[in-house]
Every structure is written in structure tokens, then in C-alpha cells.
Structure 1
């Protein structure tokens, strides 16, 4: 039950993507049809290779003065501040609160300076935090607001907050409604959107064989994720003194660390554009509803209504289920022994403060990330499996109480 292998794509979709990659021509038409589907009548969409690619294009279009500050929700993937630095900008973290890792407005006010130009708000694990207070602060200081919604997509009609300046959505390998790549950006300012589009038009198109390779790779991973193969891999990992994440984690990475910017600065292939449009048009929302039902079952079983009230937000779609636990490594090890996959942090990290502002070291975000265990709640789980997992967690908590 390894989370990273629970790919939200079926065999028919993989076959569609494979065939789409082999069909010649039609790239411009595929691009326009996808953006029209996403933007409807607003004409505010840009299809690109990844959220990181869209962010890179956006910073190019904004053309901020060297040394300007880009404020980030403190927990994100390290590539995002790396891209800001590549544009000679200064990443500045803003501390978080709550098990939904929501931006702390008090910390935001503390972080803003006259050099602050952009705020990146990350919606993590399927949560959709309230934006109103954040937007009030950004209006006071004239900040350009970007929503990183890579983990938050859950319904076709939701394209981020209309009051944000830009919203970025990922459909990479382990995301909801994955097309094994591709992203969609909503950008409210037509001039900025045009500059992003013109910049992207100068980049090379990712070879179609890349999607074919990914389809073959993830078809193999879907087979590996079945119980017989997964049990073998788990046993081998233990023999080698490693975790399943150690053995298989890198296989779901969209980009290698080397030459990252060159990998990001490509246009999506025709096959990727066609597959993403197909997935958005045919996606079965039942999968998300089942995921939410599993999450609600976990909340009830573990009595989290008081300790993690943020999880009760009806907009939360639970891309992952974040559970706060005082002994996360022990919990993960015990769950794995019983065949339940869980993990911690993945590639997420706390953005370090600038050297001249060490007071912005984000202790709350660090504490939250260190205590959070991500439980499986994907649709393939049965109610009985969820109940068994929760029973084990309760048993471990009782043993810990007795021991202490």
C-alpha cells in the first residue's frame, strides 16, 4: 500500500496517452483545446510542462528587480525557492500554523518588507485554507499573490481563488487526475499571461518519447504496487536495511536534480496536452469522494475533531491525510510491519531564512513537519482496511501512554 505507487490513472488512460503520443501533428490545436477547456470563457489559462515551469515563466514575465523578495509558505519543495534564486530573487519563508499548514497571518506581517514583491501560498495535502485575511495583508503591501495548488485540485470548476493573481495546478505523476506530467496556470493579468506565453513559445518542445517512457515506467509501477510484488519489495528493502521510499522513491520524481532549469524550460509535448485534456474530461469524481470518506472515517476513529479541527474543513480533499504524532518514526515502522503504507515529509522542506534575517526561521512549520505522518486514504482502500489501520494507531497510542 505504498502511497507513491497509488497512481491516479487507469490502464485505459495509459493506453490513450500512448496512442496520443504516436499520432503526428496537431500540437497547436491540442494546446488551444486544453486551455479553452480550463479557462472556459475567461481566456486566462496557460498549459505548461509543470508547476515549476509555470512558476519560472511567471517570474520571467514579472521581471522583478534583482534582490526583490519572494515570500513562500514555509513548507514547500526545495525547487521552488531554487527557481526564485535563479532569477536573482531572495526567498523568504513565512511560518505556518495548524495541521493543514496554513499561512500564519501574523508571521506574514512580520516577514514583509519594502523589498517584498510576491507571495507564494501553498495549499498542501488537499487542504484549501481561507485566503481572505492573507489577501487583505497583500493588498496593503502591493504583493503579487500566487497560489501553488499542486496538491489541491479536486473538482473541475475550482481553479483557485479568483482574488489571487495566479493559481498553479499540477497533473504530475503522483497527483490527482495525473496525466504523468503537465500543469495549468490561471493568470488574471492578460499582459503577464501574454509574456509567459511568448516566453514559453521560445522553449523547445519536450520529446514525445518522454511521455511514452513515463507511460511504460508507471505501467510497471502499477504492477509493482499490487500486494504480491509490493510484499516482495518490502522484504528486500528490509534485508538491505532500507525503506520502500529508499528503494522506489526516486522513480516517481518528475525531474532530476541535475540541470533542473533546463528540464523545466520546455513546452509540454502533444501527447501530454492530449492526455491531460482527456483526463480532465473523463475523470471520475467518485475517487475523490471515496478518498474524503476514508479521511472522515479516520478522523472519527482517532477522535481528531478537537486536536486537528482543520481537517473538518469541507473543502479539504485529502490528497494525503496528515496525522500529527509525537513518535512519527515509530508509528511509520509499526504500520509498515502490518502492511500499511505511511510516510513522512517526502520532498517537502522548510524554506531557510535569508542570512541577514535569521529570526524568520519558522519554528512552527519545522515542528509541524517533524510530527506529521501521512496516512493512506486512497480510494483502493476498503473500509475494513481503514478500520484496521486506525485500530493499530489507537493501540500504539495506548501502549505509549502505559509505557510513559
Structure 2
């Protein structure tokens, strides 16, 4: 069976990461080298332990007060609104539309209130919807705009939307160009970046053993995701009534359990920083090109060009392929019969409306998430030709 997400690192880099972790080194020098290389000398980069850590640093450095509102695109991982809530802030959902899960501008305008301070837009599954109008609305209301690009890294040429105030990129275990952890944050305002760096400098260093354990888990997940092994695991999970995500999930999660701020507040160790630098320097863009080609075959096979044109018009690296379908359970079972691991939702959730603000419930986001089937999308996945198109057809 073809696993949904491929662990995007070669064995040689994993072994090299272990060597770097064991040797250690100067984390300050490693961080400065990584940030300087990624920012091409612009001085707007900060390396962090994770996207969650970068987001936590942002919220600490911004002039926010308890009860201020953080507007967030409604579909995201639960950790992001939980981090905002842990700061005493109020997460407010903004509805999304389309299979690229882009922010609904009308919903954004409805959500803004006098205490709205921040807007966080999650770019899901590799999609990078245009942010011009979103940023324009945010500027009208004085919102600080954050791009959560954890699933959208597509190479060093794109470092986020220039109009956004901050863009956060993940190199976690199942992300593109994984380094078994780490994040890069682009922050436009130099003074804000300096405050974030000052806060981070007082945090303890990530223990080397913690980095080495992450590498071990990453290697285990890579081995278990190999097609023959994954097929056996999937069969075992079906026979025992388990979800394969529950079996392998602990290997993929950087911070298991309920959200706590203390584990996020660590500086990345030198080994992690140097492995991130290597991944940026040596990543083969043909891997993303292969994902885009696989996505085009899905679009042709399923006849989605007319019903979901955003799959072709929105810049996309297809970390996963989001298929919006009227009968997601049937579709998931159909792909399983073809030996392709498909699933719904993953760890994504719809952020609930704050108490007393029922007008901010997000019907489009709920409908989209319920109807979306997530498909593996990388080179080699066997997508049938259009003449073998299945009977269940997705609607717009």
C-alpha cells in the first residue's frame, strides 16, 4: 500500500544528522549561518524549534493583552488556537472556501472586532492561495498577518507572501525536506524580530539526546512507511479495528499530548540547525515537481479541472492531494482497494466560535473538512488514466 505521507529525507541525511547531533557544536554560530543563508542576507529570519515555538515567540513579542483576539483560518491543527488561548488570547475562526481552503473575505470582514489584533492564515496541503486581498483587509483593520506555512514549503525561492508580517515554515518529521524538527520564521519588522530573538536567547537549549531521539523516530517512520511494510501494517490495523494513524502517529508528532508552552520554549541545538541547513542546500526540487505531476494525473483521472479549478490556478506543491467529494467514505474505501492510503481530516479541526458569537460558526469549513479525502501525492503513486474514471464524482 502507498502510504499517505512519505518521510522526505534520505537515509544518508538521517545518518549525517545523527553524526551532527553527536558532535554538537556552537548553536549560535549554526543558527546565524542558517538564518543568513535562508534570508540571503536580508536579516529577517529566525530559526526556531518548531512552528509552534515560532508562533509562541511571536505572541510573546507582540504588544498583546489578555482578551485580545487572534483571527485564524477556521481549519487548522488544534495546537495553534490552543497556543493563542494559553496566552490569554481569544481564537476566532474565519471561514474558508474551495479545495485550497482559502480565507473567505466576507467572513474575515465579519469576524473583525475592536479587539482583533492578529490574523493567522494556514496554507494547507501545499496550497499557497493569493494573499493580496486578505492582507489589504487586514491592513484596513490594523491586523498583524501571520502565514502558517508548515505544510507549504516548496523550496528556498519562496519565503512567504511579501505583504505578510510573518511567515512560519516547518521541517518537522512528515513535512517537506524534513530535518526531524525545526522551523524558519520570516519576520518583516526588525524590532519585533529583535524582541523575539531576545526572548529566545533566554530559553534553554534543546538537549542533544532529544534531537537524536527525534531522528530515531524519523528513521523508524521512514522504514515503516516503505510500501511493503506499510501494507502489512495497514492490513493488521484493519483486522484489529485500529486506525493506522493511531499506530504511527506517535512517531510523527513533535509534541505529543495536550499543548503546553514549556516544551516549546527551547532553542534548537546545533545538530538540528546544521541538518536544516543541509536540507535547504541540497534539497532536490524534482521531488516537488514529481508531486505536482502526480496531482495533475489525479485531476485528469477524477475530472476535477472544471469543478475545482483552484487545484490548477492556485500555486501548489501538493504536500497531500485534497479531494473534495460528496461521498468521502466510499472514496476512501475505493482508494484502499487500489492500494492507496486515503483518509479524512488527519489532525485538522474546525475552530469553534467563541461563546456568544454563533454568527462566526464556519459552515463552509465544516463541510469542506467532512468531504475532503487526503491522498498521497508524490512520484510513483499509481494514478489510473482518465478512461478508468470512477463513478463517484466530486462536485464543486
Q: What is the CA–CA distance in structure 1 between the aligned matches of 2:171 and 2:48, rounded to whole Å? A: 10
TM-score for both structures, normalised by structure 2: 0.96
* Partner SS for 1:200: helix
* Partner SS for 2:28: helix
Superposition deviation, residue 249 in structure 1: 2.3
Structure with the higher helix share, 1 or 2? 1
Q: Does the 8 Å contact 1:4/1:249 carry over to 2?
A: no
Q: How does 1:232-251 map to 2 (within 5 A)?
A: 232-251=232-251
* Partner SS for 1:322: strand
Q: What is the CA–CA distance in structure 1 between the aligned matches of 2:207 and 2:22, rounded to whole Å? A: 11
Superposition deviation, residue 221 in structure 1: 2.1
Aligned to 1:171: 171
Q: What is the CA–CA distance in structure 2 between the aligned matches of 1:137 and 1:259, rounded to whole Å? A: 31
* Partner SS for 1:109: helix
Indicate whether 1:387 and 2:394 are aligned. no
Q: How does 1:1-12 map to 2 (within 5 A)?
A: 1=1, 3=3, 5-12=5-12
Q: What is the CA–CA distance in structure 1 between the aligned matches of 2:345 and 2:3, rounded to whole Å? A: 12
Q: What is the CA–CA distance in structure 2 between the aligned matches of 1:274 and 1:31, rounded to whole Å? A: 8
Q: What is the CA–CA distance in structure 1 between the aligned matches of 2:392 and 2:140, rounded to whole Å? A: 46
Indicate whether 1:397 and 2:384 are aligned. no
Higher mean Cα deviation, 173-182 or 211-220?
Answer: 211-220
Q: Does the 8 Å contact 1:74/1:95 carry over to 2?
A: yes
Aligned to 1:47: 47
- Deviations along 1:91-144, whole A, 9 cap, x unmatched? 100001111000000000000011101000111111111111111111111111
Q: Does the 8 Å contact 2:207/2:269 carry over to 1?
A: yes
Q: What is the CA–CA distance in structure 1 between the aligned matches of 2:199 and 2:17, rounded to whole Å? A: 27
Superposition deviation, residue 369 in structure 1: 0.5
* Partner SS for 1:209: helix
Distance 1:295 1:282, change over 3 A: same
After superposition, the CA RMSD in angstroms is 1.6
Q: What is the CA–CA distance in structure 2 between the aligned matches of 1:227 and 1:297, rounded to whole Å? A: 20
Aligned to 1:342: 342
Aligned to 1:202: 202
Aligned to 2:222: 222
Superposition deviation, residue 359 in structure 1: 1.2
- Deviations along 1:232-289, whole A, 9 cap, x unmatched? 2122112211232232223211111246312111111111100000000000000000
Q: Does the 8 Å contact 1:178/1:279 carry over to 2?
A: yes
Number of residues of Structure 1 aligned to a counterpart in Structure 2? 394
* Partner SS for 1:359: helix
- Deviations along 1:48-71, whole A, 9 cap, x unmatched? 001110000000000302211100
* Partner SS for 2:383: helix
Superposition deviation, residue 329 in structure 1: 1.8
Aligned to 2:57: 57
Q: Does the 8 Å contact 2:72/2:119 carry over to 1?
A: yes
Q: Does the 8 Å contact 2:79/2:259 carry over to 1?
A: no
Distance 1:314 1:161, change over 3 A: same
Q: What is the CA–CA distance in structure 1 between the aligned matches of 2:57 and 2:260, rounded to whole Å? A: 14
Q: Does the 8 Å contact 1:5/1:221 carry over to 2?
A: no
* Partner SS for 2:275: helix
Superposition deviation, residue 220 in structure 1: 2.2
Superposition deviation, residue 314 in structure 1: 5.6
Distance 1:246 1:256, change over 3 A: closer
Q: What is the CA–CA distance in structure 2 between the aligned matches of 1:22 and 1:4, rounded to whole Å? A: 32
Indicate whether 1:106 and 2:103 are aligned. no
Q: Does the 8 Å contact 1:336/1:342 carry over to 2?
A: yes
Aligned to 1:253: 253
Unaligned runs of 5+ in 1: none
* Partner SS for 1:118: strand
Q: What is the CA–CA distance in structure 2 between the aligned matches of 1:58 and 1:263, rounded to whole Å? A: 16
Q: Does the 8 Å contact 2:160/2:167 carry over to 1?
A: yes
* Partner SS for 1:397: coil
Aligned to 1:287: 287
Superposition deviation, residue 2 in structure 1: 5.1
Indicate whether 1:312 and 2:309 are aligned. no
Q: What is the CA–CA distance in structure 2 between the aligned matches of 1:153 and 1:351, rounded to whole Å? A: 24
Q: What is the CA–CA distance in structure 1 between the aligned matches of 2:177 and 2:283, rounded to whole Å? A: 7
Higher mean Cα deviation, 371-380 or 271-280?
Answer: 371-380
